[in-house]
Structure 1
Amino acid sequence: MFSITINLIQLFQLIVLIFLASILIKILKLFCKRWKLIAAMKPFPGPPAHWLYGHALEFSQDGTDLDKTVTWAKKYPYGHQVWFGPFTAYLAVYHPDYAKALLASSEPKDDVVYRFMLPWIGDGLLINSGQKWHRHRRLLTPGFHYDILKSYVQEIAESTKIMLDENGIGLSDEDLRAEVDTFMFEGHDTTASGISWLLYCLAQHPEHQQKCREEIRELLEGQEKFEWEFLSKMPYTTMCLKESLRLYPPLPGVSRKLSKPLIFPDGKQVPEGRIFQNLLLFEQMIVNRAPTSINPTLRCTCSLLKLDSCFAISN
């Protein structure tokens, strides 16, 4: 009996020892991860971070979070590290040279930030990636092509058939719901936000509002209705719209996770596995002027796809 008791105590001690050892190993792995993160982020200094909370306490969720981001972007115009806790770090990039290096790559969406929206809009095009994303994109593209606006009802009906019957393999009910929720969010909400900010910008700058009004009045003179072709004949109004989107983008950032090292034009390198947040606030710094002022005439050649032209104009 005494021997059995001793064996039980030894077994209990062994279990406790194994348990403590496993916890210690996990702690060591976490700290190894932190050391690697610190080394990876070292070339990109940022605002001071709390040793435990990181920068989490800087975001008070009182409506001023993006203001904090703008402040950091001004102080660190190329990019900087952002910590959420001691073991999670992002690299926020702003400068066009950095953004081009990231956006020109085929890196996948990160598996942290976008997953927060999964319960809201489902696993649609905004969130999914890989083969599933390519398949959904192929099936959905006919239903949302730009030319559909010309013959709205008939084309939508035909495209719906294509989505459901192409190659005999359509989207499941769950997939369809996720894509509808995604397009409601990406299309309806963002469009409403973009229009609202455009009206706000024009109200703040009546001189540009008057030019838009004159352009549209001239275009509609003698016309009984607004035609599709008129959309390409409103250059000044279009430039005002793009300026508004530059200043107040409905979706101010994208996030990517590196599957391979990324080298920036200045030679700085980030290893694979790191997560980027490319905040589109960098567009405010493309031209050499106050980032909150409006100058539609610069929009004729300025775009995210023609950054060199923007620099040529600003210099």
Structure 2
Amino acid sequence: MGTSSSDFDHVINLCADVVAQTKSKIVSYWIMGFYPVLSVCHSETAKVVLKSSEPKPKHLGGGYSMFIDWLGDGLLLSEGKKWERNRRLLTPAFHFDVLKPYAGIYNKVFDIFLDKMEKATSGGDSVEIYDSVGLATLDTMLRCSVSYEGDIQQQGSIHPFVDATRRLGHLAQLRLLSPWLWHKFPFYLSPTGREFSKHVKYIHDFDEKVINARRKSLESDPSILKKRHLDFLDILLTARDEQGVGLTDREIRDEVDTFLFEGHDTTASAISWGIYSLAKHQEEQQKVYEEVKSILGERKNVEWSDIQEFTRLSLFIKEAIRMYSPVPAIARVTTCDMEIDGVKLPVNTEVNIMIHVLHHNEDAWIKPGEFRPDRFTDNGGRDPYDYVPFSAGPRNCIGQHFALDEQKVALAKLVQRFRILPDPNHEPVPNKEVVTRSKNGIFIKLEKR
């Protein structure tokens, strides 16, 4: 297959069509006629790549290269011994004992979100939710990562951190679709590059100010860690490897930026499409509502123990993120010769794992275009690599339990308070970019229960 486009949505849809027609497990294509990319589209080929610890492609034109100056060498982009060390050091940040107190933060954040939604739909109007959900998940990430509360949801794009984060994501995507800006020299001379640099400086200055203040606070009174719940920054500042060496300030900054970027945008996609799925599938919404009502009763807050009890909601979320994969594709680059399905790949070959295609492969899923949460009551003989919304293998998403817990609290509180209805005049069109968004927004209506 050949293409002159770097349009993610176009490429992913083409791969899906090729797989449906030919049952291929690998699809290859060319970007701009000279840059070859191999895509694996079946669990048998995907697992070969995912079981390895191959790094993300950061070479010129590689999708992840557009984020290096912003995210640095955090877990998303680091490789080799550094990645292995930092992955070990960060793992305690996602232990259940650390995640448990975050339930209170999820409740506070989504109470603000629900109040906004109630006000916006009080006259029976529909409301576009993706923007507001994104503010809520960014609010969550800032509170959980560095204990920052800054009226994120109320101020929206007026808040400089919100504006910087949104613009950086947009500018990185714009650069990826503009090969003449792949080289740093023309990029940073361009208006796009100059704006990117301005926002990166703001984000890094913000991080460094928070990190320095927290480090000084801990040095002056280490006992404060026993007086409150730990956030992500606390874990980073106190982590030590086998030699007793901790992370440098630059490494901490990179991990904070990575956590904020990866954690808020992907979860915003998952929650938004989950809300849309509740609206579209009323029978499934009723099942979720009845479960939430039976577990919460008259309580408004979702407690940590409740999260573990949401079985129907869990099935619903699994199906929603199968249908609308928050991250539709990821990439790796080979560090040694590799053979996949009889195809020999040399070193430095970029391989895309088409998660969206895996999640809609008819070899694994019965009627994959239908929304059927009950398909997850058993695996139906599926390979574990048929369903990889958080990637898989050694480089899987370290924060997947954090993300799923946040989704459960958000959707449980929503269905408890409102009946979610579709807007027949606004059917969303999925757009599979770095995350799956909608080309025309996601609109819903709400009725107070």
The question of a shared fold, defined as TM-score above 0.5 by the shorter chain, is answered with: yes
Whether 1:122 and 2:198 are equivalent positions in the alignment is no
Whether 1:170 and 2:117 are equivalent positions in the alignment is no
Aligned CA distance change for structure 1 residues 252 and 147 (closer, same or farther; 3 Å): farther
Cα pair 1:82 1:91 within 8 Å, conserved: yes
Cα pair 2:46 2:385 within 8 Å, conserved: no
TM alignment of 1:289-304, pairs within 5 A: 289-302=366-379
Secondary structure of residue in 1 paired with 2:360: helix
Whether 1:241 and 2:317 are equivalent positions in the alignment is yes
Aligned CA distance change for structure 1 residues 81 and 202 (closer, same or farther; 3 Å): same
**Identical counterparts, % of pairs:** 33
Whether 1:132 and 2:82 are equivalent positions in the alignment is yes
TM alignment of 1:14-163, pairs within 5 A: 47=1, 49=2, 55-57=3-5, 59=6, 66-76=12-22, 77-112=24-59, 113=62, 114-152=64-102, 153-156=228-231, 159-163=235-239
- Matched pairs, number: 253
Point out where structure 2 has 5 or more consecutive residues left out of the alignment.
Answer: 103-227, 388-449
Structure with the greater relative contact order (CA < 8 A, sep ≥ 6): 1 or 2?
Answer: 2
State the Cα deviation string for residues 259-302 of structure 1 (Å, max 9, x = none): 333334xx513222222101102122154433321110111334
State the Cα deviation string for residues 31-60 of structure 1 (Å, max 9, x = none): xxxxxxxxxxxxxxxx2x3xxxxx123x45
Cα pair 1:261 1:270 within 8 Å, conserved: yes
Q: Which runs of 4+ in 1 moved over 4 A?
A: 63-66, 164-168, 222-225
> Could you say which structure has the larger radius of gyration?
1
What corresponds to 2:270 in structure 1? 194
Q: CA deviation at 1:135?
A: 2.0
What corresponds to 2:384 in structure 1? 306
What corresponds to 1:268 in structure 2? 342
TM-score by length of 2: 0.51
What corresponds to 2:155 in structure 1? none
State the Cα deviation string for residues 189-212 of structure 1 (Å, max 9, x = none): 111111111111111111111110
Q: Equivalents in 2 of 1:89, 1:64: separation in Å?
A: 16
Aligned CA distance change for structure 1 residues 260 and 158 (closer, same or farther; 3 Å): closer
Q: CA deviation at 1:238?
A: 0.3
What corresponds to 2:294 in structure 1? 218
Secondary structure of residue in 2 paired with 1:56: coil
Cα pair 2:273 2:324 within 8 Å, conserved: yes
Aligned amino acid, residue 226 of structure 1: V
